[in-house]
Amino acid sequence: MPIRSLTAIVAPVFLAAVYLTTASAVPHAQETTENPFTTNLDVRMGQRVFRQQCGRCHGRDGAGGELGPDLTDGFQNASTDAGLFSIVREGLPNTQMIGINRNATDQSVWMVVSYLNSLNDTANVDLPGDATSGMQVFNGKGNCTNCHMVSGEGGRRGPELTRVGSRRDPDELLSALMTPDEDVAPRWWTVRVTREDGSVIEGLRMNEDTFSLRLMDEQEDLWSFSKGRIRSYERIETSIMSSVDGVLTASEVDDLIAYLFSLRREES
Ligand code: HEC
Ligand code: HEC
Distances (CA, A) of 80 to 24, 40, 53, 68, 154: 23, 20, 22, 20, 38
pLDDT score at 32: 62
- What confidence category does residue 211 fall into, taking pLDDT thresholds of 50, 70 and 90? very high
- Residues 53-71 have a mean pLDDT of 93
pLDDT score at 22: 43
Across 112-124, b (16+ Cβ under 10 Å) vs e yields: bbbbbbbbbeeee
Across 83-107, b (16+ Cβ under 10 Å) vs e yields: ebbbbbbbbeeeeebebbeeebeee
- What confidence category does residue 227 fall into, taking pLDDT thresholds of 50, 70 and 90? very high
Is 38 strand, coil or helix?
coil
How do residues 91-142 score in pLDDT, each as one tens digit? 999 999 999 999 999 999 999 999 998 888 655 567 889 999 999 999 999 9
Which protein residues touch ligand 2 with a CB less than 6 Å away? 138, 142-144, 146-148, 157-159, 164, 168, 173, 176-177, 180, 184, 188, 239-241, 244, 256, 260
pLDDT score at 98: 93
How do residues 185-202 score in pLDDT, each as one tens digit? 988 999 999 999 999 999
Q: Range(s) for CATH 1.10.760.10 in the chain? A: 2-119, 131-183+242-262
Distances (CA, A) of 70 to 15, 57, 145: 26, 10, 24
Percent of the chain with pLDDT over 70: 85
Q: Which amino acid is at 23?
A: A
- pLDDT of residue 259 exceeding 70, the answer is yes
Give the integer Cα–Cα distance in Å for 44 and 58.
Answer: 17
pTM above 0.75, yes or no: no
pLDDT score at 31: 53
CB 202 within 8 A of CB 192: yes
pLDDT score at 127: 84
Nearest to 144 by CA among 187, 168, 180, 181: 180
Please say whether the structural domain 131-183+242-262 has been given the CATH code 1.10.3720.10.
no
Nearest ligand 2 atom, CA 184 = 17
Across 15-37, b (16+ Cβ under 10 Å) vs e yields: eeeeeeebeeebeebeeeeebeb
- pLDDT of residue 78 exceeding 80, the answer is yes
- Residues 61-65 have a mean pLDDT of 92
Q: Range(s) for CATH 2.30.30.100 in the chain? A: 186-236
The CATH classification number of 186-236 equals 2.30.30.100
Residue 244, number of CB atoms within 10 A of its CB:
19
Give domain 2-119's CATH number out of 3.20.20.100, 1.25.40.10, 1.10.760.10, 2.30.110.10: 1.10.760.10
CB 169 within 8 A of CB 175: no
Which protein residues touch ligand 1 with a CB less than 6 Å away? 50, 53-54, 56-58, 67-69, 71, 75-78, 84, 87-88, 92, 95-100, 112, 116
